Structure 1
Amino acid sequence: MELFEATMGLVKEASKAFTSVLLSLMRSAHWDIAAAVRSIEAASSTATTTTTFTDSLVGANHAKYALESYINRKIFQGFDHETFYMDGSLTSILHPDQHRRDCFTQYRDMKAMDPIELVSILPTCSFGNFCFKKYLSIVHPKMEESLFGDLEQRRQVLDGHHPRSQFYGEFLGLAKAVWLLHLLAFSLDPPPSHFEASRGADFHSQYMESVVRISGGGGGAKVGMSMVVGFPVSPGFKLGNGSIIKARVYVVSKN
């Protein structure tokens, strides 16, 4: 269980790092960051409350959390399935013991590997396909063209190649961290169940941690019941032994 927590810690660091790179590129390309954040949030929900939350609460200083929320939502989508729904595999149900062993073996073998080495050797392995799918999901064409001036990286991905750019390298770091967490989750019996805090939900410190300090309210666990979730930043997990890895959330005042 400590291994899973440590691996989730690596996901958190990789998520922050990739978000920081993406935000820096947006600023260099003279994006209207506040407008971009509104667009990201509006795309994630049709609820009017979403736009209201974002419009009034996410200033330039907190844009990184909204962007990280978007990235995590995309990259964790499908986490509860053994192949992220890339195929209809049911091995974990049909041969559970063997599947758990295989997942841990893959985790152990892959842990020390540089992700670019791995996808260079086997570009269309399961991990490679995961990278293709998630890159195209996170970085849409207009975003890529605006940031880099062309769609060259996207063309390479669509052709089944992994770009050797610094940006794609940063993305691979995050993809590898999430893939390792996924392998580890499916090697455990029972596998951890992952959860995400909902917008507008009361803040519960036993299940959530705040990514921001609230003026007059202290940090995460001291925020209390007067705060609600403005938006989720990263998912949490409940492990088989009952312990909780808290979901990270952007909290706002209930009033």
Structure 2
Amino acid sequence: MANKVTHISDLIHRVASSCLTHHLPGVHGLESGNDVDGEIEEEEDAVQKEEEEVEEEENELRIWEEEKGAGPGGVSERVREMESLMGEVFDAVSAVKRAYACLQGAHRPWDTDKMRVADAAVVAELRRLGRLRDHFRRNGFGASATAAAPLREVVAPYEAALEDLKKDLKAKEAEVESLQEKLRSTTLRGSGRKNRLPSSRKVACASILGAPAMPTPELFETYMEQLKSASKSFAGHLLSLMRSARWDIAATVRSIVEGGGDGATDHNPRHSKHAVESYVNRKAFHGFENETFYIEGSLTSLLRPADFRRDCFAQFKDMRGMDPAELLGVLPACQFGRFAAKKYLAIVHQKMEGSLFGGVEQRRQVMDGTHPRTGFYGEFLRLAKAVWLLHLLAFALVPAPSHFEVSRGADFHPAYMESVVRFAGGRVPPGLVVGFSVSPGFKLGNGSVIRARVYLVPRAHGM
């Protein structure tokens, strides 16, 4: 038994000696052990650094919540305000979508009243979104909260509303001026007119200042006065250009007046503006009796008269407050655009434009389907719009007004004619006949007459 113990102790001694003097395979020495300890220490440092960063972020979040007024277990007032604002934004966006859907629905079937209401609703909701955006920026919610919102963006909605009000004001002023001119002309007529206006016409004329509910003869008379004003203005502009280009005005007038050359026009140069206006109106009213001024071969007024009348009055209401230049800038080839182009080419022929402007650039643009943005063409568009509106209104009335022309040499009848030259005492002296017609007259369905404007001359000259 003693020998066996000795043998085991010898074996242990040998193994221990071998381990001390020889490295076992796959076992590193002291240096390798030091490397492992270094890696462990680096991992511990990284974990500790990460824990410090998380702790620092939590401290910063706690400090931010304390600065914003958040309680330990509550929500800050600023967060609640932002949530309320976002709720309003979503409500406004939904309202815009609903209003736009209504606007699309008003196009089919075509309903101008619904379109106008839906368009106003869309604009109102978009402005509401603009106000929410400005509120968002002013209160510092967004990423650009440190910088104040640009002044231009803040006042943009108000500027747009102001421009709309200015346009409405201009339209109202034009209508008031037209009514005042009509009142003056009615006063001058005195008892010469057989059919006096009934008292109900005052109400109808007053409704013209707003949106007209239905076509009436009184409304037609008002817009005829506007057309007179526009034709006088354009004729005066055209005459001033002729004088600037050193035209022979007397020869021009003789060529305008049918049967000229008899000396009737040489005695009073003041009548030149009336002769030019006569030329302009003769070209502008040509084709007035046709539903499209012979631009198209349509027969809608005969096949579906009720629908055609409704469409004419709807177009009249839509266009009456529009700037014709802005309209043609968007829709140059619309029916009114083709009408304006046709009348411009008829009134201002090629030689005339070349003499007045030194070239035919405006004519070339019109023939190419566009509309020049010049002062002269803008003045012409004012006249073209007045004729077009009167034409729409005429075909919206039941029965439609019938227009009449006065031929040269006809006797003067105060019930159907109005002299463009004022005489002493307001009475036309006897022995005068029509030298030429300045603008046509109209017989209305209610029995009243819009008198034709004529230039009177002594009978020797008129015959």
Report if TM-score (shorter chain) is over 0.5: yes
- Secondary structure of 1:209 counterpart: strand
Describe the superposition over 1:44-83 as per-residue Cα deviations: whole angstroms up to 9, x where unpaired. Answer: x4xxxx2145x32353211110000000000000000000
Q: Which amino acid aligns with 1:202?
A: D
* Aligned residue in 1 for 2:388: 179
Contact 2:254–2:265 at 8 Å: present in 1 too? no
Q: Shift of the alpha carbon at 1:40?
A: 2.1
- Tell me how far apart the structure 2 counterparts of residues 146 and 30 of structure 1 sit (CA, whole Å): 10
The 1:143–1:218 alpha-carbon spacing in structure 2 relative to 1, beyond 3 Å, is: farther
Contact 1:11–1:178 at 8 Å: present in 2 too? yes
* Aligned residue in 2 for 1:126: 335
- How many pairs were matched up? 243
- Tell me how far apart the structure 2 counterparts of residues 243 and 213 of structure 1 sit (CA, whole Å): 23
The 1:91–1:224 alpha-carbon spacing in structure 2 relative to 1, beyond 3 Å, is: farther
Q: Structure 2: which 5+ residue stretches go unaligned?
A: 1-216
Q: Considering fraction of residues, name the structure with more strand.
A: 1
* Aligned residue in 1 for 2:451: 246
Could you tell me the TM-score, scaled by structure 1's length?
0.92
* Aligned residue in 1 for 2:227: 11
**Identity of counterpart residues, as a percentage?**
65
* Aligned residue in 1 for 2:31: none
Q: Structure 1: which 5+ residue stretches go unaligned?
A: none
Describe the superposition over 1:149-202 as per-residue Cα deviations: whole angstroms up to 9, x where unpaired. Answer: 001000000100100010000000000000000000000011000011110000
* Aligned residue in 1 for 2:318: 109
Q: Considering fraction of residues, name the structure with more helix.
A: 2
Could you tell me the TM-score, scaled by structure 2's length?
0.51
Contact 2:250–2:265 at 8 Å: present in 1 too? no
- The alignment status of 1:156 with 2:361, answered yes or no, reads no
* Aligned residue in 2 for 1:93: 302
Contact 2:241–2:356 at 8 Å: present in 1 too? yes
Contact 1:203–1:224 at 8 Å: present in 2 too? no
User: 1:205-216 alignment to 2 at 5 Å?
Assistant: 205-214=414-423
User: Which consecutive aligned stretches of 4+ in structure 1 deviate over 4 angstroms post-superposition?
Assistant: none
RMSD: 1.3
| Higher Rg of the two aligned structures | 2
User: 1:168-207 alignment to 2 at 5 Å?
Assistant: 168-207=377-416
Of 56-65 and 69-78, the range deviating more from structure 2: 56-65
- Relative contact order higher in (CA < 8 Å, ≥ 6 apart): 1
Q: Which amino acid aligns with 1:184?
A: L
- The alignment status of 1:56 with 2:264, answered yes or no, reads yes
The 1:32–1:140 alpha-carbon spacing in structure 2 relative to 1, beyond 3 Å, is: same
- The alignment status of 1:230 with 2:435, answered yes or no, reads yes
- Secondary structure of 2:355 counterpart: helix
Q: Which amino acid aligns with 1:82?
A: E
